[in-house]
């Protein structure tokens, strides 16, 4: 059996990794952007980001003061797990104390801070069932400078691909420099209103150098990336060729009368980390 303590230790471990060490695909994309930018201001901004990443790793401190809202993705396979939810909560508390993490969780009306990143419905735990003999945990700390720029559209079927592109472009322009670009964008298509936003968020867990396996969506990812970078918003909103490092699209079937589209914006600190536990 996988114990509650093992789950807590695992969550704490990957939370620390997520907020300190940026995934390789994002770091490489930032380095490429630095080489390809022509604007001195854009290059200066990306250089500052790259220096920030290096300092965070060298000093083992979070790369951003906003260590995010605790969001956990769980793939629950054919294993015995003791008190999974309690273990995840314990792990978030432990990470808050030991990393340490900024205490971000508040009551939305009174704004009272919980003091330990735990609250009503938080951490947000998303469970997906799996046939594998393992438990996979992914920590996704979501900063709200980017989260505040998410968008949902319930398009009509006749709006089609062109409608998706127009909504995407409008969302990127409306966000401007607020989400600390160069950003990474997750796009969800289909399902219901709540499902499409979750699809958009899950899209951010896939490396940006790995296209969707569906060739239609892979092409759309490239087209949306071009649309984002053609805006000229650039790093930190001060102009340049690199507004977005990558666009990932995920899709589900939907109702015949609808075309839900979700946009989930992530800043350059596109943080997440995973671990797999087995029932031994």
Per-residue pLDDT reduced to its tens digit, 51-108: 999 999 999 999 999 999 999 999 999 999 999 999 999 999 999 999 999 999 999 9
280 pLDDT band, cuts 50/70/90, is confident
Indicate the average pLDDT of the chain.
97
Each residue's pLDDT tens digit, 130-144? 999 999 999 999 999
**Residue at token pair 């102009």:** 239
Each residue's pLDDT tens digit, 191-221? 999 999 999 999 999 999 999 999 999 999 9
Question: Angle 40-59/24-36 helices, nearest 10 degrees?
Answer: 150
Please state the rounded mean pLDDT for residues 145-171: 98
| Residue 222 scores a pLDDT above 80 | yes
Q: Please give the Cα distance from 44 to 42 (Å, whole number).
A: 5
Tell me which residue of 77, 80, 68 sits closest to 204, measured CA to CA.
Answer: 68
Q: Please give the Cα distance from 58 to 77 (Å, whole number).
A: 36
| Residue 246 scores a pLDDT above 80 | yes
**Token pair listed for 30:** 């930032």
The enclosing H or E element of 11 equals: helix 4-20
Question: Taking a C-beta distance cutoff of 8 angstroms, is the pair 266, 179 a contact?
Answer: yes
Check residue 279 and give its pLDDT: 85
Please state the rounded mean pLDDT for residues 122-127: 98
| Residue 267 scores a pLDDT above 80 | yes
- How far is the first Cα of the chain from the last one, in angstroms, to the nearest whole number? 7
pTM for the full model? 0.96
Strands in 5-113 per DSSP E? 69-76
Cis peptide bond N-terminal to 241, omega within 30: no
| Burial of residue 174, with CB atoms counted within 10 A of its CB: 0-12 exposed, 13-18 middle, 19 or more buried | exposed
Cis peptide bond N-terminal to 100, omega within 30: yes
| Residue 223 scores a pLDDT above 90 | yes
Cis peptide bond N-terminal to 182, omega within 30: yes
With a CB cutoff of 8 Å and minimum separation 6, the contacts of 251 are: 188, 189, 190, 199, 212, 214, 217
């Amino acid at each position: 059996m996988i114990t509650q303590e093992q789950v807590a230790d695992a969550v704490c471990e990957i939370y620390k990794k997520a907020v300190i060490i940026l995934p390789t695909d994002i770091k490489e994309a930032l380095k490429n952007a630095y080489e390809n930018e022509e604007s001195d201001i854009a290059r200066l901004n990306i250089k500052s980001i790259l220096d920030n990443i290096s300092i965070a790793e060298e000093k083992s401190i979070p790369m951003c003061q906003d260590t995010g809202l605790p969001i956990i993705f769980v793939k629950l396979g054919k294993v015995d797990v003791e008190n999974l939810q309690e273990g995840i909560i314990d792990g978030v508390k432990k990470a808050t104390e030991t990393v340490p993490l900024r205490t971000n969780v508040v009551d939305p009306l009174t704004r009272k801070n919980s003091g330990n990143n735990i609250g009503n419905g938080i951490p947000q735990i998303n469970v997906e069932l799996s046939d594998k003999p393992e438990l996979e945990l992914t920590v996704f700390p979501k900063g709200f400078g980017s989260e505040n720029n998410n968008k949902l559209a319930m398009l009509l079927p006749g709006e089609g691909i062109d409608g998706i592109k127009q909504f995407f472009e409008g969302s990127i322009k409306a966000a401007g420099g607020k989400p600390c670009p160069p950003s990474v964008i997750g796009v969800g298509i289909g399902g219901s209103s709540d499902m499409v936003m979750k699809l958009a968020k899950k899209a951010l867990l896939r490396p940006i150098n790995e296209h969707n396996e569906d060739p239609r969506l892979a092409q759309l990812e490239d087209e949306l990336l071009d649309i984002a970078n053609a805006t000229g918003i650039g790093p930190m909103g001060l102009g340049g060729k690199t507004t977005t490092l990558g666009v990932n699209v995920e899709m589900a079937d939907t109702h015949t009368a609808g075309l839900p589209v979700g946009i989930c914006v992530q800043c350059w600190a596109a943080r997440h980390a995973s671990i797999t536990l087995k029932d031994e």
